[in-house]
Amino acid sequence: MKITKGHFIIGLLLLAALAAYPFFSGVVYTNLFVRFLIFALFGASLNLLLSYTGLLNFGHAMFFGVGGYATALLLEHMPNAGLLTALFVGASAGALLALIVSPMLVRVRDTAFALMTLALNQLLFIACLKLRGITYGEDGVGGFSIPPLNLFGLVSVDITHPYNFFYFSLCIVGLGLFLMWYTTRTPFGSIMIGIRDNPNRVNYLGFNLPFSKTVIFTISGFFAGSAGALFALFQNLVSPDAVMHIQNSFTAIIMVFVGGIGTFIGPIVGAAIMTGLENLAVRYTEKIFLFNGLLLIMVVMFFRGGFVGLYNLAKAKWGSK
């Protein structure tokens, strides 16, 4: 696709709309949008595994959770650590966890792989609950100081203000999404897709399968960790239920499917739809999973390509006239 003047103008308008968004929507919807952004980043990091490498990870929340805990604990114990340092530590924690669990995960495939990820997620969930000395158990780590964003020692921005946090997360998520998208365009991205479609042949072509998968997990873990770190800064609280719970893993998978598996933008669209739906549903019932589940069933039964797939179908049918 060639970038035309039209694309450029649309991009600028979109950017302007995003910049103006908080002033039109107010605090509640600004925070809702931040939630969407965080889950878009988290969903996209899962998508690297699910859509690009063909790995169904049922435990992606462990990377998110570890990222959140790392950032929260760092700020709890070292309130003077910088904001970006805290974020980077969270992301690195996700990557490190991925490195640690990779030797186990790269040896198994399909169902065994999915169950192994599930088990690891549960293990970390229980660890967070039980290691009270470190994680404060069920209560979680909260009320830690959130440092201001210090730009080259020139300006200091208080990101506890919802609007400021909105811009901050917009930049971080935007950067994260761009880096992931870029990854898919590199030679390594091609190898990922090769692993998805025919791992055996990739092996015979001279690529070290276990090591390549380890690299992919680490990248994915890094971005999931950064989403978790952002979440910790956003909520000023991480607890096992909020970040490490298996439900987060499922939510990310559902986002990929609802948005459209096999596309880069899928989980981002999925995150938008799920966050919006949740916000609507919560007005009438607490049982929002009822709606999430129903939506997933509909997608799986009637439109496998998700909303992106629907859009493409519609475009093919009516767009070319």
Partner 1 sequence: MVILQTKNLCHDFSGMKVLSQVNLEILQGERHAVIGPNGAGKTTLFNVITGTYHAKGGSVQFKGADVTRTEPYQLSRMGMGRSFQITSIFLRQSAFQNIRLAVLSRRKIRYNLFKPIDSINIITNETEQILRQINLYDERNVPASTLSYGKQRSIELGMAIATQPDLLMFDEPTAGMSKEETHNAVRLIRRLTEGKTMVIVEHDMEVVFSLADRITVLHHGEILLTGKPEEIKNDRRVRSAYLGDSEV
By the criterion CB under 8 A, which residues form the site for partner 1? 182-183, 185-191, 193-194, 197-198, 200-209, 212, 215, 219
Q: How far is the CB of 37 from partner 1 (least distance, A)?
A: 24
Instruction: Please tell me the distance from the alpha carbon of residue 263 to that of residue 300, in angstroms, as a whole number.
Output: 16
Task: Please report how close the Cβ of residue 162 comes to partner 1 at its closest, in angstroms.
Answer: 35
Give the nearest distance from C-beta 47 to partner 1 in angstroms. Answer: 17
User: Which stretches within 198-321 are classed as H helix?
Assistant: 199-204, 209-235, 246-259, 266-281, 288-302, 306-314
Burial pattern 281-299, b for ≥16 Cβ within 10 A else e, equals: beeeeeebbebbeebbeeb
For residue 156, the cross-strand partners are: 150
Instruction: Tell me the C-alpha distance between 230 and 240, whole Å.
Output: 16
Name the residue nearer to partner 1 (CB basis): 195 or 273: 195
Q: Which amino acid is at 279?
A: N
Nearer to partner 1 by C-beta: 142 or 194?
194
Place of tokens 């025919």: 198
Q: How far is the CB of 114 from partner 1 (least distance, A)?
A: 21
* Nearer residue to partner 1 within complex by CB, 192 or 238: 192
In the bound state with partner 1, the residue whose beta carbon lies nearer, of 115 and 205, is 205
Looking at the Cβ atoms of 163 and 188, the one nearer to partner 1 is: 188
Nearest distance in Å: CB 95, partner 1: 14
